[in-house]
Amino acid sequence: MSASPPEILLGLLLIFALPGYAITKATFPEWRLKGPEALLRAVELGTLSLVLSVGVTILVGFVLGNLPGGLFQAGWTDPLLEAILAAVTGIGLVVAVLRGGFASQPPAAPVPEPSPGEEDPFAVVRKLEATNREIRRLQHQLRTLRTGDPERSPLEAQLADAERRSQELRASRGAEYAR
């Protein structure tokens, strides 16, 4: 049995493009192919459409191939496979429309929650390094002083303060990552 060119085109679109496009538009309704990020969005949309379509086709084919009774013949023009892929595409497009994926004004993109240390990941590291250098400098000065030297007491206080600040920096950074 030979398939006509429109059937072949529809089959290829259902396997390689349409389900993934519908799922991508449903997942990311704020993506538009306009403005300064148009090329980036086009590449993302095309790539995700291809990958998701092939993935959905493989998943549906695997499920159909493992059904008891041998209803599925593993042909890419099998009407059951095409019907399921068309249903996935239809459901994805309905969800995309409901989420505003095709509206003239795109919905607002979700604001990502900042990751710990995202604003300046090395600020705490630089503070810790500066504090550790200060600690080493104070320890060296204390080693070079005699036991009864009057300068020893203020240096010991500075050392204790630097060690406390170092511990606080380490604890705050640890608490930030524990969230």
Please write the tens of the pLDDT for every residue from 26-70: 999 998 888 888 999 999 999 999 999 999 999 998 888 888 876
Question: DSSP secondary-structure letter at 145?
Answer: S
The distance of Cα 152 from the centroid of its chain, to the nearest Å, equals 53
Residue among 25, 5, 7, 3 nearest 15 (CA): 7
Q: Which of 17-21, 146-150, 152-156 has the lowest mean pLDDT?
A: 146-150
Residue 123's pLDDT is what?
78
**121 touches 138 (CB < 8 A):** no
Quick one: DSSP state of residue 121?
A: T
Residues 29 and 84 in one domain: yes
Query: Same structural domain for residues 81 and 14?
Result: yes
Give a yes or no: residue 111 inside a domain: no
Q: Is residue 169 part of a domain?
A: yes
pLDDT band at 107 (very low <50, low <70, confident <90, very high): confident
pLDDT band at 125 (very low <50, low <70, confident <90, very high): confident
Asked if residue 129 and residue 44 are part of one domain, the reply reads: no
Share of the chain above pLDDT 90, in %: 40
Structural domain for 10, as ranges:
5-98
Q: Tell me if 116 is assigned to some domain.
A: no
- Burial pattern 86-121, b for ≥16 Cβ within 10 A else e, equals eebbeebbebbeebebeeeeeeeeeeeeeeeeeeee
Residues 93 and 24 in one domain: yes
At 13 the pLDDT is: 92
Residue 35: what pLDDT? 84
pLDDT bin (cut points 50, 70, 90) of residue 108 is confident
pTM: 0.61
3-state secondary structure of 100: coil
108: amino acid identity, one letter: A
The answer to whether 18 touches 53, Cβ cutoff 8 Å, is yes
